[in-house]
Amino acid sequence: MEKIEQGHSEMAKQLKDIFGYDYFKNSQEAIICSILAGRDTIVVMPTGAGKSMCYQLPAMMMDGMAVVVSPLISLMKNQVDIVRNHFIEKSIVHVLNSTLSKFEQQLVREDLISGKTKLLYVAPEFLLKEENIRMLKSLKISFFAIDEAHCISEWGHDFRPEYRRIRQRIDKLRRKIPIMALTATATPKVRQDIQDNLRIPDAEIFQTSFDRPNLYYEIRKKTDAIDKEIVVFIKKHAGQSGIIYCRNRKRVDELTRFLQANDIRALPYHAGIMADIRNINQDKFLKEDADVIVATIAFGMGIDKPDIRFVIHYDIPKSLEGYYQETGRAGRDDGEATCIAYYAYADILKVGKLAKRKSLIEQDIIRQLLAETAAYAESNLCRRKSLLFYFGETYSKKNCGSCDNCIKEKQMEEGREYMYMLLETVKDTQQRFKDKHIINVLLGNTTADIRQFGHEESSHFGEGYEKSEPTWRSLIRQALLDKLLVYDAENAGVLKVSEDGERFLKRPYSIPIVSEKSKHNEDDADGDAISPKGGAIDKILFSMLKDLLKTVAKHENLPPYVIFHESSLEDMSIQYPITMEEMTQISGVGAGKAQKYGQPFIELIAKHVEENEVERPQDIIIKSIANKSGQKIFIIQSIDQKIYFEDIAASENLSMDELLTIIESIVAAGTKINIDYYIEGNIDQYHREEILEYLQKTQEDSLEKALKELGEDEYAEEEIRLMRIKFLSDKGN
Ligand SMILES: [Zn+2]
């Protein structure tokens, strides 16, 4: 007992003497005791909770040198600088990697051999070289620390194959050396993978709670107005630091330019930017010369800016783990921070398609992770509870008070009967299926699988027809969160009834669920459970504008979309334009359209603003980027000169698809163009007439539907698009 206490006070003293801290954070002390005692140790600690101290301090206290395996060179450099700050001798900590010259590497090796170095950072590739193993064999090694250990698992968000060989290489040293695996993010599955792969079955596991009570989580529906919504959001949070994550470089560049055009101090960060500039941008952000960094996901690993007040995901992340990690960079100072993710189901499909080039196993994993992300985004249950569940943690509060789903008013109804139906259906189909199949059984959808397994014969087939698919998806989620259903440990995604579930079936109790009615009130008819909260789109105004549009369209005898696109109405519901000038700034509304149709909309908005004392974002006049309009002018002029579309596309380096998209936006904004010269040479007369007739009578603006109605075999998508451009220009403008 005395010895342990002595040990503790020695640790506390070292902590103070070396690193200047007065006390340990979280479970640091217990973790350090574990490794000092020579035990294998797994540390799962959210970013910012003091993970690196768990190996830095014992490395200084133990005999020999600790080896830290870390995936990123920039991360290592940053760490080495931080540790060196506390010492006079540089040699106490080193990094050994390929960025050093041969000469520098030699100096480092000399320090290692002389025993001056207590902490060495290496990349996993370092261990793959025989000469390095030979050198490590000749040194006394106190322990190995495997940082970012989730890289071991294909189920993690950042898989690195070379991580899976670490254990095998350590074994080459032929000594028992304790291993510490550290990660800021690990689902139960990833944790198991880490333990199995590093072969540390008896490791002591330290898991700090993943709850970040100071973070507010929100999912917003992604619309064409997203860029403007983001500008409005940032202007409302002027002077605060934030990160915006986009999936690709192109989007990063475009959004950065758009923000800069709107006087926001934003800088880009992605792998396509030269390293020097990247570092300068990162530095500016850290030193507050820039407020916003627009980045691909590579940004932020290892940077420690405590006062990031918002993290926005422009595209929904590929996994919930990645999402948690990235949002986790906000509010490290424990101050409040906002995390907004934009969601469109189309994005999920896109990522799924991109994955097609990978191996079947990888594809399966990607699809499963995506399905979980989609379920999270579409769910109307507490975001915090869902996120923590993902990390194997139970959140017991009924209302977290700090996520969109908890703060919005919901109408609840009794769900006992439906929960019973769901669990019975899972049992009745032998607990061998994933959520999609179970839902198909409940809804009575005859799919190939349903037929193959004869589930049309099940007494539950079609039993749940009263409820919609999203409601069943949500109910399955709720069952998982309440632990009535569990995932099968062997088959990813397969649902099983748990012991708690069996108890429920024996004696069903009350289960409140979110009523479908309350969802339909706030969302569009597509049954999407996502609603843009936080005052982005004025829903009441939006529905009034929609009604007005219908009336005007009827009066003009035109389909509504010919007059204004729904996305333009959405934008009006954000910007509240009350002058003709402001109306021309709305997305998809040019001067022509504003003059022709704008007046009644302006009047309606002005009345709404006055009656409800709406605070308009007047000072926020959104500027678009100039070079895009330059291209549009060139295209309009070319069409005036009757230049063939193929030639216009070639000279602007566009695909035909891209060119048509631009022309569509030109026409949608109210500019009149005449493309008859091109149509006449490319579409036969009969097709022209048929398509026009169809466009005249339909109320919908769906290419897909048009193709179906007209006949996919006979008509090409391009023909319909061209005729629609003509139709819109002739009738609408
Ligand atoms: Zn909540």
Cα of 494 vs centre of ligand 1, distance in Å, is: 26
pLDDT at position 620 is: 57
Compute CA 731 distance to the chain's CA centroid, rounded to the nearest angstrom.
Answer: 41
Q: Is there a single domain that holds both residue 477 and residue 583?
A: no
pLDDT in tens, 296-321: 866 665 566 888 999 999 998 888 88
Ligand 1 centre distance from Cα of residue 73 (Å):
37
Are the C-beta atoms of 339 and 347 separated by less than 8 Å?
Answer: no
Cβ–Cβ < 8 Å for 477, 495: no
Ligand 1 center from residue 497 Cα (angstroms) = 25
- Please give the distance, rounded to the nearest whole angstrom, from the Cα atom of residue 385 to the centre of ligand 1: 7
DSSP string covering 24-81, please? --TTHHHHHHHHHTT--EEEE--TTS--THHHHHHHHHSSSEEEEE-S-HHHHHHHHH
Give 184 Cα–ligand 1 centroid separation in angstroms. Answer: 22
* Residue 102 forms part of a structural domain: yes
Distance 406 CA to ligand 1 centre (A): 4
Strand partners, 277: none
CA of 404 to the centre of ligand 1 (A): 7
What's at 472, amino acid-wise? W
Instruction: Average the pLDDT over each of 256-260, 409-413, 423-427 and give the range with the smallest value.
Output: 409-413
Q: Which among 9, 56, 48 is positioned nearest to 32, based on CA atoms?
A: 56
Asked, for residue 526, whether it belongs to a domain, the answer is no
Token pair 């309606």 is at which residue? 604
- Whether residue 545 is found in the same domain as residue 509: no
Judgement on whether residues 238 and 102 belong to the same structural domain of the protein: no
Q: How far apart are CA 445 and CA 447, in angstroms?
A: 6
For residue 386, how far is its CA from the centre of ligand 1 (angstroms)? 9
Give the Å distance between the CA of 509 and the centre of ligand 1. 23
Residues of the chain with pLDDT > 70: what percent?
92
Q: 463: closest CA among 430, 440, 497?
A: 440
Q: Is the pLDDT of residue 528 over 60?
A: no
CATH code: domain of residue 650: 1.10.10.1390
* 421 CA distance to ligand 1 middle (Å): 27
166 has a pLDDT exceeding 50: yes
Residue 529 belongs to some domain of the structure: no
Instruction: Kindly write down the DSSP assignment for every residue of 173-192, as one continuous string.
Output: T-S---EEEEES---HHHHH
d(CA 500, CA 4): 42
**311 C-alpha vs ligand 1 centroid, how far in Å?**
18
| pLDDT number for residue 4 | 47
Domain that holds residue 493: 412-514
Judge whether 520 lies within some domain. Answer: no
Cβ–Cβ under 8 Å, residues 426 and 438: yes
Q: For 508-521, write each residue's pLDDT tens digit.
A: 888 888 776 654 43
Beta-sheet strands, E only, within 463-518: 485-487, 495-497, 512-514
Regarding whether 483 and 346 lie in a shared domain, the answer is no
For residue 77 the two structure tokens come to 């450099």
Residues 191-233 pLDDT 10s: 899 999 999 999 999 988 888 899 999 999 888 889 988 998 9
In angstroms, what is the span from residue 419 Cα to ligand 1's centroid?
22
- Ligand 1: centre distance to CA 143 (Å): 41
Q: What distances in angstroms separate CA 664 from CA 197, 208, 702, 728, 732, one per listed residue?
A: 54, 53, 14, 9, 12
pLDDT at residue number 302 = 56
Over residues 388-413, mean pLDDT: 84
CA of 516 to the centre of ligand 1 (A): 19
Do the strands 93-96 and 119-122 form a parallel or antiparallel pair, or are they unpaired? Answer: parallel
Instruction: Tell whether 416 and 500 lie within a shared domain.
Output: yes
> Is 243 within the bounds of a domain?
yes
Strand partners, 269: 295
Q: 451, 480, 514 — which closes off a domain? A: 514
Task: Please report how many Cα atoms fall inside a 13 Å half-sphere around the Cα of residue 285, on the Cβ side.
Answer: 27
Cα of 344 vs centre of ligand 1, distance in Å, is 21
Separation CA 158–CA 152 (nearest Å): 8
Amino acid at the residue 90: K
C-alpha of residue 513 to centroid of ligand 1, in Å: 15
Distance between Cα 409 and ligand 1 center (Å): 12
Interval between CA 247 and ligand 1 midpoint (Å): 26
Residue 597, exposed/middle/buried by CB under 10 A (0-12, 13-18, 19+)? buried
Give a yes or no: residue 523 inside a domain.
Answer: no
Whole-number Å distance between alpha carbons of 100 and 227: 42
Please state, rounded to an integer, the average pLDDT across all residues of the chain: 85
> How many other CB atoms sit within 10 Å of the CB of residue 156?
27
Regarding whether 416 and 402 lie in a shared domain, the answer is no
What CATH number does residue 478 fall under? 1.10.10.10
Strand partners, 343: 221
CATH label of the domain that carries residue 104: 3.40.50.300
CA 325 to ligand 1 center in whole angstroms: 18
- In contact, 342 and 537? CB cutoff 8 Å: no
Centroid of ligand 1 to alpha carbon of 151 (angstroms): 29
**Tokens standing for residue 383:** 């975001």
Are 647 and 595 contained in the same domain? no
**Ligand 1: distance of its center to the CA of 213 in Å?**
10
User: What CATH number corresponds to the domain at position 573?
Assistant: 1.10.150.80
Residue 432 in domain: yes
Query: Tokens 């829903």 appear where?
Result: 539
One-letter identity of residue 211? D
What Rg value do the Cα atoms of the chain yield, rounded? 30
- Alpha-carbon gap, residue 521 to 336, rounded angstroms: 30
Among the ranges given (155-159, 220-224, 353-357, 518-522), the one the predictor scored with the smallest mean pLDDT: 518-522
Same domain (yes/no): 403, 417: no
User: 384 C-alpha vs ligand 1 centroid, how far in Å?
Assistant: 5
Q: How far apart are CA 635 and CA 356, in angstroms?
A: 35
**189 CA distance to ligand 1 centroid (A)?**
24
Please give the distance of CA 194 from its chain centroid, rounded to a whole number: 24
- In a shared domain, residues 395 and 431: no
Run of H or E residues at 552: helix 539-556
Mean pLDDT of 144-153: 93
What torsion, rounded to 10 degrees, do the Cα atoms 381, 382, 385, 388 define?
100
Contacts of 484 (CB under 8 A, 6+ apart): 419, 423, 497, 498, 500, 501, 504
Q: Are residues 67 and 184 in the same domain?
A: yes
What b/e readout covers 397-435, taking b as 16+ CB neighbours within 10 angstroms?
eeebebbbbbeeebeeeebeebbebbbbbbeebebebbb
> How many whole angstroms from 615 Cα to the centroid of ligand 1?
28
**How much distance in Å is there from the Cα of 507 to the middle of ligand 1?**
28
415-456, pLDDT tens digit by residue?
A: 899 999 999 999 989 898 988 899 999 998 888 888 889 898
Q: Is 582 exposed, middle or buried (0-12, 13-18, 19+ CB in 10 A)?
A: buried
pLDDT digits 0-9 by tens, 698-721: 877 788 888 888 888 888 889 999
Q: How far is the CA of 705 from the centre of ligand 1 (A)?
A: 39
Is the residue at 530 inside a domain? no
**pLDDT score at 518:** 52
- In whole angstroms, what is the distance from residue 666 CA to residue 68 CA? 57
The per-residue pLDDT for 682 is 86
pLDDT band of 275, cuts 50, 70, 90: confident
Residue 245 alpha carbon to ligand 1 centre in Å? 23
Between the CA of 482 and the centroid of ligand 1 the distance, in Å, is 15
In the DSSP assignment, the letter for residue 207 is: E
How far apart are the CA of 387 and the centre of ligand 1, in A?
10
**CB-based burial label for 46 (10 Å; 0-12, 13-18, 19+):** buried
Same domain, 504 and 549: no
Contact between 267 and 319 under an 8 Å Cβ cutoff? The reply is no
- For residue 527, the model assigns a pLDDT of 33
Distance 233 CA to ligand 1 centre (A): 21
Give, in degrees to the nearest 5, the angle at Cα 333 between 329 and 335.
95
Task: Give the three-class secondary structure for 399.
Answer: coil
Of 620, 652, 681, the position where a domain reaches its end is 620
Q: How far is the CA of 219 from the centre of ligand 1 (A)?
A: 12
How many whole angstroms from 380 Cα to the centroid of ligand 1? 10
Q: Distance, CA 235 to ligand 1 centroid (Å)?
A: 26
Ligand 1 centroid to 405 CA: how many Å?
Answer: 6
- Cα Dmax for the chain: 97
Total number of domains constituting the chain: 5
For ligand 1, the distance from its centroid to the CA atom of residue 210, given in whole angstroms, is 14
- Which of 480, 514, 548 lies at the terminal end of a domain, its last residue? 514
Pairing of strands 512-514, 412-414: antiparallel
Question: What's the gap in Å between 52 CA and the centre of ligand 1?
Answer: 30
DSSP string, 261-289: HTT--EEEE-TTS-HHHHHHHHHHHHTTS
Ligand 1 center to 67 CA (angstroms): 41
Beta bridge partners of 96: 122
Residues 263 and 359 reside in one and the same domain: yes
* Ligand 1 centroid, distance to 334 Cα (angstroms): 18
Write down how long the chain is. 733
